[in-house]
Structures are given as structure tokens and as C-alpha cells.
Amino acid sequence: GQQVMQIPQYQHVQEGEDFTTYCNSSTTLSNIQWYKQRPGGHPVFLIQLVKSGEVKKQKRLTFQFGEAKKNSSLHITATQTTDVGTYFCAGPITGNQFYFGTGTSLTVIP
């Protein structure tokens, strides 16, 4: 069954509002990665978090890795239309099998 869950599945925001997606794993992860997939495109790597409690920022994007290394979040401040897409978390669960979360589809209304 699905071992990496993401919520929400869909999110519609007005441009300028903030957005957060949450990722939860049933097992401890050695690291977690985040990807963005634009409509009609393929996933593109955004960032990798390795340490417990780690926080990383990329401009308006803030990524967090939970203390227990079982959950993570991506927060976007003041969304723009260029942020549209589906955001996936992914982590190695067993061996080198990378399991992806179900994804959060973000729509930004101008």
C-alpha cells in the first residue's frame, strides 16, 4: 500500500496567498526529496533534506524535515502563477526504492 501520503490532494489559491503541502511517511526516511511537475511535464528535482529538523529555503519556498524524519512540508509564500504544478515528496523506503507521495496539485488564480 501507499507508504508516503501527501495532503491536500488539490489546492486552489489566489495569487499572493501562501500554500503548504504536507508529506507523511509510515517509516523513518534517510532523506526526503521534493519535486515539481508542471502541467504536461515531468518531475523536476527541487531539494533534498537529510538531517532531522532540517529547514531549507529557496527564495519563496521553505522546506522542513520533521524531527522524527517521518514527515516533511513545503511552504510557498506569496504564490505566483509560475508556481502552478504538482508538488511531490519522495523518499527511499526500502533499499533504493524511491516512493513518491500522491502529490499536491496547486492552482494559482490570478
Partner 1 sequence: DGGITQSPKYLFRKEGQNVTLSCEQNLNHDAMYWYRQDPGQGLRLIYYSQIVNDFQKGDIAEGYSVSREKKESFPLTVTSAQKNPTAFYLCASSITGFEKLFFGSGTQLSVL
Residue numbers at the binding site for partner 1 (CB under 8 A): 6, 9, 30-31, 33, 35, 41-45, 48, 88, 90, 92, 95-103
CB of 3 to partner 1, least distance (A): 9
For 81, list phi and psi in degrees, rounded to 5.
-65, -25
Distances (CA, A) of 29 to 16, 41, 42, 78: 33, 27, 24, 30
Smallest distance from partner 1 to CB 63, Å:
13
What is the arrangement of strands in the sheet containing 4-7, beginning at the earlier edge strand?
A: 4-7, 19-25, 71-76, 61-65, 55-58
14/30 with CB nearer partner 1: 30
Which of 56, 100 has the CB closer to partner 1?
A: 100
